Amino acid sequence: MLSTRNCDNAVSVSPILTVSDLIVEFPTRKGILRPVDRVGFEIDPGEILGIVGESGAGKSMCGSAIVGLIDRPGRIGGGEISLSGQRIDNLSNDRMRRIRGKKIGMVFQDPLRSLDPLKTVGDQIVETIRTHLPVSAAEARRRAVAALEEVGIPAAANRIDAWPHQFSGGMCQRVVIALALAAEPALIIADEPTTALDVSVQAQIMALLKRLCRGRGTAVMLITHDMGVIAETTDRVAVLYAGRLAEIGPTRDVLSNPSHPYTIGLMTSTPKPTGGIERLSQISGAMPSLRDIPKGCAFSPRCGRAFAPCYRNIPVLEPAARTEVACWLYDEEYAKDAANLEGTGHD
């Protein structure tokens, strides 16, 4: 339902965020590691894009790269990032700082550790508002109360002077969301926003985030490893594997009709909420460490359907059935070989 709406919009609306061929590099003594390798995607205004992958797949690094917060000695090694058509990957520190919080809000994994323990919640919201908007202290405080009310903090006018340690994890994450939205950014990057929370409040927080962003038309880049969250929240989803984009497409299509062998494996290893007793399959092996990414397709050693080109060349993103896939199986030139190979393999 959502995906179709977005497909219609995609033609006319220019994307809020464009990432193309993004490379993040970490120079080490044994050579340069690439936690993010030529990743490209777009996010439309108001759209929720999920980024999914195992830990170490480069999801969070993508988010950090977009807001210019890669820890040293990491750096952006190539590609472009544009926000509303303006390039932001080459901005000075100070100009990037004015974008963070103002145009791109962030929500991190552990809310209890995201807030300064020695400042009241109100101080931190007021500080953020006044950093980005030319308003008086009183006005900022009024807005801070409103922001807390909006994220569902009861008795916000009183709680505004409370300390972070006086909030539960779920309440803290609400405060963090209020902080991320304080300056009305056009894009929120939420990095595993519910992973550190109790299972019982995870759904509430996701619902809140979704409701607020839909209400304001704020786009969201939702980084998670939880396929359930992806299914319930996102419009489109991008699957990362070993720093590379494996597949990207409308959520419903990726979930129900995945094309990349890795995505297929991922889907069959996740229990379906629709029930039914089904044997969960596992993908054999483990994701390679950044130090020894195999030649060719990074997934090839674990892929049951790998054939000659997979071990030689890195596949590029190409349209497949309903999604875009980086896999030689969907390359027209090789497709025939692959089909033949599979045919013999199955006999």
Partner 1 sequence: MLAFIIRRIGQALVVLLAVGFVSFSMFKFMGDPLENLLGQEATMSDRAELAERLGLNDPIVVQYTRYLTRVLDGNLGISYRAGLPVGKIILERLPATLELAFLSGVLAIGVGITFGIYTAIHRDGIITNAIMTISLIGVSLPTFLIGVFLIWAFAVNLDWLPAFGRGPTGNFLGMELAIVTWGGFKSMILPAVTLGLYQMTLIMRLVRSEMQEVLRADFIRFARARGLSERAINFRHALKNTLVPVITVTGLQLGSIIAFAIITETVFQWPGVGLLFINAISFVDIPVMSAYLLLVGTIFVFINLIVDLLYFGIDPRLGPTGGEGRHRA
Give the residues lining the site for partner 1 (CB under 8 A): 67, 69, 93, 97-102, 105-106, 108, 110, 113-120, 127-128, 131-132, 163, 165-166, 176, 179-180, 182-183
**Contact (CB, 8 A) for 55 and 9:** no
In angstroms, give the least distance from the CB of 309 to partner 1. 41
Nearer to partner 1, 151 or 255 (CB): 151
In angstroms, give the least distance from the CB of 33 to partner 1. 20
At residue 53, what is the residue type? G
Nearer to partner 1, 105 or 296 (CB): 105
Read off the tokens for 292: 């020894």
Nearer to partner 1, 59 or 236 (CB): 59
- HSE-CB at 182 with a 13 A cutoff on CA atoms is 33
Nearer to partner 1, 1 or 118 (CB): 118
Radius of gyration of the chain (CA): 21
In angstroms, give the least distance from the CB of 283 to partner 1. 31
CA distance 324 to 252: 13
Integer CA distances (angstroms), 2 to 79, 214, 253, in order: 30, 12, 12
In angstroms, give the least distance from the CB of 110 to partner 1. 6
CA distance 335 to 101: 46
- HSE-CB at 325 with a 13 A cutoff on CA atoms is 21
In angstroms, give the least distance from the CB of 103 to partner 1. 9
Q: What 3-state DSSP class applies to 35?
A: strand
CA distance 226 to 218: 22
In angstroms, give the least distance from the CB of 189 to partner 1. 8
Tell me the torsion sign for CA atoms 138, 144, 147, 149. negative
Q: What 3-state DSSP class applies to 209?
A: helix
Nearer to partner 1, 120 or 268 (CB): 120
Tell me the torsion sign for CA atoms 116, 118, 121, 122. negative
Nearer to partner 1, 11 or 118 (CB): 118
Q: Which residues of 241-271 are buried (b: 16+ CB within 10 A; e: fewer)?
A: bbbbbbbbbbbbbbbebbbbbbbbbbbeeee
In angstroms, give the least distance from the CB of 325 to partner 1. 32
Nearer to partner 1, 67 or 287 (CB): 67
In angstroms, give the least distance from the CB of 174 to partner 1. 14
Query: 329 — alpha (psi -120 to 50), left (phi > 0) or beta?
Result: alpha
Nearer to partner 1, 35 or 249 (CB): 35
Nearer to partner 1, 119 or 305 (CB): 119
In angstroms, give the least distance from the CB of 67 to partner 1. 6
Cα dihedral 157, 163, 169, 174, rounded to 10, equals 40
